[in-house]
Amino acid sequence: MNGAESLVRTLKAGGVDVCFTNPGTSEMHFVAALDRVDGVRCVLCLFEGVATGAADGYARMADKPASTLLHLGPGLGNGIANLHNAKKARSPMVNIVGEHATYHVQYDAPLTADIEGTARPYSHWVKTSKTAQGIAADTAEAILAARTAPGQIATLIAPADTTWEEGAGIVQTPAIPERAKVDESAIANAAKILKSGEKVVILLGDKAVRAAPLEAAARIAEKTGARILGETSNARMQRGAGRVALERVPYPVDQAVATLAGVQHLILIGSRDPVAFFAYPGKPSRIAPEGCLVHMLATPADDQPEALERLAEAVGATQKLVIAGRERPDLPKGALDPESIGAVIGALLPENVIVCDEGVTTGRKFFPLTHAAGPMDWLQLSGGAIGVGIPMATGAAVACPDRKVVSLQADGSGMYTVQGLWTQAREKLDVVTLIFSNRSYAILRGELANVGALNPGPKALDMLSLANPDINWVSLARGLGLEATRVETAEQLADVFKSALRAKGPHLIEVVM
């Protein structure tokens, strides 16, 4: 088998059996090898930012890496923003980036670029294969790197001749190291703090916001009087009916600071010492009050659920929590605004749904309104690089073909990777997308004032507006092969959302605000 086939077979043997791609000439042998290897699903994306964002969404739901196949430096470049998000989400990923044949690079052909340099800021592991004989071993190394806790971005650069020359066969990926267990002394120390009577917040992130560890954390809080909080953005939270309702550190700095006011101890589990998303004149970068002691109990690389269970035992919080049911909101009537939209969503979300949340300003109020709906996974924009929503929903739907995906999407960020809608149509993915069409980068209107740029004039405001012309999302989505409907009232939204949830396959709802 040639190098490309040894690469694809090694991916499959290492459990990486999905590839999101937009290939070019240098990747043609990889593409050709797909027909010789059963059981590898290749999903065409019309832009590389869709491919990397989909691989991120897939990894969050499958808890294992997908691969991407990208075309030289510029193709990788197009994928960078969502690699950034995936890196911050600690999503494992194996990128295969085509490169000119080893002997051709020196000629500086038009597509030649510094691929390693492009990859490095957004990858934990980067390597260029030197030979077709070695590419399978490099691939196994990439899979190992990607799957090493806390989840890493591995980028393997594959010169064309390493794919077309004779390869060395499949290489098995070594065993993935287990996550480190937290030291007993750290558990004891945390228990002591929790019993001290001082004001403690347990800040949860990463794997600690899955259902079971979250329940353990809530038990500890109930027993000790500590508060639990989640990070502002989470790669994948498990929430909804029967699960703990977790308050998060708010995005606006003043609210975040107020939330942590008076706290004497922060115990971090899968989370980081919280900081402001941006700097603002006269406002702090760190959110925790001065003098608050920060205790790192479990890093994102550690076994966080296990640490929480041991901590629960150490404080005597072993009795399973009874979580009271909540009432879903009533279906509202009339105008569409963040509250009424949130109420419709909260009233109708089905059990076991996957929610991909890039609702930005519109979505800030959705959290409390949706908690009474059935158990669900809730995926957020993790690295602040807008344009992950549509791709993330695409990847989540590929990972979980039996679950409904609801994609909550702001219009400005939706335009970044709108090409992903076509992939949803081609793959008949079960995704309902709500586009919140407020025709503006609404978040930036607030940010102008926050950074002290007061009284903006017409030129400034024009840069924050998506109007003139208004984007017609129904027309756009139909152009990409999707069923699409426009709604202007809460009643219409409820009707259309209900029927889209009942049907199978992609549907876009333009929610005009």
317 to 356: interface string for its own copies, x by CB under 8 A: ----------------------------------------
Q: 202-226: buried (b, 16+ CB within 10 Å) or exposed (e) per residue?
A: bbbbbbbbbbebbbbbbbbbebbeb
> Angle, nearest 10°, between helix axes 490-502 and 338-348?
30
Part in contact with its own copies (CB under 8 A); list of ranges 109-117, 149-157, 253-261, 346-354: 109-117
Chain residues 427-446 in contact with its own copies, contact rule CB under 8 A:
443-444
Residue 74: exposure state from Cβ atoms within 10 A (0-12, 13-18, ≥19): middle
Least separation in angstroms between CB 360 and its own copies = 12
Sign (positive or negative) of CA dihedral 155, 82, 254, 346: negative
* C-beta of residue 355 within 8 angstroms of C-beta of residue 370: yes
> Which tokens in the block code for residue 125?
């592991």
Q: Does 447 bind its own copies (CB under 8 A)?
A: yes
Q: What is the dihedral of CA 480, 486, 492, 493, to 10 degrees?
A: 60
Q: CA nearest 503: which of 350, 336, 352?
A: 350
With respect to its own copies, which residue has the nearer C-beta, 103 or 261?
103
Q: Does 233 bind its own copies (CB under 8 A)?
A: yes
Residue corresponding to tokens 């287990």: 178
User: What contacts 220, CB < 8 A, 6 or more positions away?
Assistant: 194, 202, 226, 228, 308, 311, 312, 315, 317
With respect to its own copies, which residue has the nearer C-beta, 134 or 414?
414
Chain residues 169-188 in contact with its own copies, contact rule CB under 8 A:
none
* C-beta of residue 94 within 8 angstroms of C-beta of residue 173: no
Beta bridge partners of 154: 94, 125
With respect to its own copies, which residue has the nearer C-beta, 212 or 301?
301
Q: Does 236 bind its own copies (CB under 8 A)?
A: no
Least separation in angstroms between CB 331 and its own copies = 29
Q: Does 288 bind its own copies (CB under 8 A)?
A: no
Least separation in angstroms between CB 445 and its own copies = 10
Residue corresponding to tokens 């800030």: 364
With respect to its own copies, which residue has the nearer C-beta, 14 or 53?
53
> Which tokens in the block code for residue 238?
């498990």
Q: Does 160 bind its own copies (CB under 8 A)?
A: yes
Least separation in angstroms between CB 7 and its own copies = 14
- How far apart CA 338 and CA 493 sit, in angstroms, is 13
With respect to its own copies, which residue has the nearer C-beta, 356 or 476?
476
Chain residues 260-279 in contact with its own copies, contact rule CB under 8 A:
272, 275-279
> Which tokens in the block code for residue 283?
């406002």
With respect to its own copies, which residue has the nearer C-beta, 100 or 236?
100
With respect to its own copies, which residue has the nearer C-beta, 32 or 168?
32
Least separation in angstroms between CB 449 and its own copies = 9
Q: CA nearest 56: which of 30, 88, 34, 17?
A: 88
Residue type, 86: A
Among 80, 288, 298, 429, binds its own copies (CB under 8 A): 80
CA angle 357-336-456, nearest 5°?
80
26 to 65: interface string for its own copies, x by CB under 8 A: x-xx-xx-xxx-----x-x-xx-x----------------
* C-beta of residue 72 within 8 angstroms of C-beta of residue 24: yes
Q: Does 289 bind its own copies (CB under 8 A)?
A: no
370 to 399: interface string for its own copies, x by CB under 8 A: ------------xxxx-x------------
Part in contact with its own copies (CB under 8 A); list of ranges 82-90, 208-216, 340-348, 358-366: 82-90
- How far apart CA 127 and CA 322 sit, in angstroms, is 50
With respect to its own copies, which residue has the nearer C-beta, 14 or 274?
274
With respect to its own copies, which residue has the nearer C-beta, 139 or 233?
233
Chain residues 293-322 in contact with its own copies, contact rule CB under 8 A:
none
Chain residues 478-497 in contact with its own copies, contact rule CB under 8 A:
478-481
- How far apart CA 133 and CA 136 sit, in angstroms, is 7
Beta bridge partners of 436: 410, 511
Q: Does 74 bind its own copies (CB under 8 A)?
A: yes
- How far apart CA 268 and CA 271 sit, in angstroms, is 5
Among 166, 222, 247, 470, binds its own copies (CB under 8 A): 470
Query: Quick one: which H or E segment has residue 448?
Result: helix 442-450
Part in contact with its own copies (CB under 8 A); list of ranges 131-139, 145-153, 331-339, 459-467: 459-467
Among 75, 240, 338, 391, binds its own copies (CB under 8 A): 75
With respect to its own copies, which residue has the nearer C-beta, 350 or 505?
505
Q: Does 472 bind its own copies (CB under 8 A)?
A: yes
% helix / strand / coil in the chain, to the nearest 5?
40, 20, 40
